[in-house]
Amino acid sequence: MEFASFILYALLLLQFSLALEINEKTMENDQDGHPSLDSSLNVFFKVTDLYLGKRMPIYFATDEDSTPTRLLSRKEADSIPFSLSKLPYLLEYFSFSNTSSQAKAMEITLKQCEQKSIVGEVKFCVTSSESMLEMTRGFFGSVKPNVLATRILSSNHALFQNYSFIEKPLEIYASKKVACHTMAYPYLVYYCHGHEGQMNRVFKVALGGENKERVEAVAVCHMDTSAWARDHVAFRILGGHPGSTPVCHVLPVDNLVWVG
């Protein structure tokens, strides 16, 4: 491995390990000794909450030091297998024990990326900037999509606080939408999924925090949750069950939504 690539992967591994350590430490126990919901899960809300003046607690992680900041080039990504069948080799490659939290996170990510899509859904994982452009172009065809992301506008950022909708939420109408979420992995991996039509609705929301912080957020509302798992965390937070109600969530700063 070239020295520059070695330094790159060393930094990515450090970020990956630190992010997992932080996530584990943020889990606390309730009075009965059971794990309580991590505050970082406070991103879900109901579609009926989308109105001017609505106030709710929301967790916004920053994009600093939490995940790798860029996709690898195709040459870099293609030099490393990305397959669940290669997990033993990958753990040895990245020097992770097969019982470590990093190993479990990598297994979950690889399984998620290899799951088949449901009817009417497009799904793919990307490990390089070139594959991101190719896959999105393949889905949108001749239509040039726009990309949306959440932006934290203030320097006085708090990870978790009450926010108010300071402007009327603006719905972004598009015939095709693809949301891309970062996954736990030693380098940046996006899990992308999308639909045609109005199965998902996308909104731009202007938020003001208790500390006067401003956030331009992107929110996605899943109108049909009938195929979701019954124990999905959104139902633990909002109540209900698969298919009972739409579920909305704000996107973290390192996630993307393509619309076209």
User: What is the tally of helices (H) and strands (E) in the chain?
Assistant: 6, 13
Q: Give pTM, 2 decimals.
A: 0.81
The parent domain of residue 230 ranges over: 3-259
Number of compact structural domains in the chain = 1
- What are the residues whose beta carbons fall under 8 Å from the beta carbon of 54, sequence distance 6 or more? 164, 165
Residue 8, pLDDT above cutoff 80: no
Q: What is the pLDDT of residue 5?
A: 46
220 vs 1, more confident: 220
Residue 76 confidence class, pLDDT cut points 50, 70, 90:
very high
Q: What is the pLDDT of residue 146?
A: 95
Rounded Cα gap, residues 102 and 120, in angstroms: 33
| Main-chain phi, psi angles of 221, to 5 degrees | -115, 120
Residue 194 confidence class, pLDDT cut points 50, 70, 90:
confident
Residue 30, pLDDT above cutoff 80: no
Of the listed ranges 32-36, 60-64, 65-69, 117-121, the least confidently predicted one is 32-36
Q: What is the pLDDT of residue 154?
A: 86
Q: Which two tokens stand for residue 151?
A: 């932006």
Exposure on the CB side of residue 82, measured as CA atoms within 13 A: 22
Instruction: Give the mean pLDDT of 99-121.
Output: 90
Q: What is the pLDDT of residue 63?
A: 57
- What are the residues whose beta carbons fall under 8 Å from the beta carbon of 6, sequence distance 6 or more? none
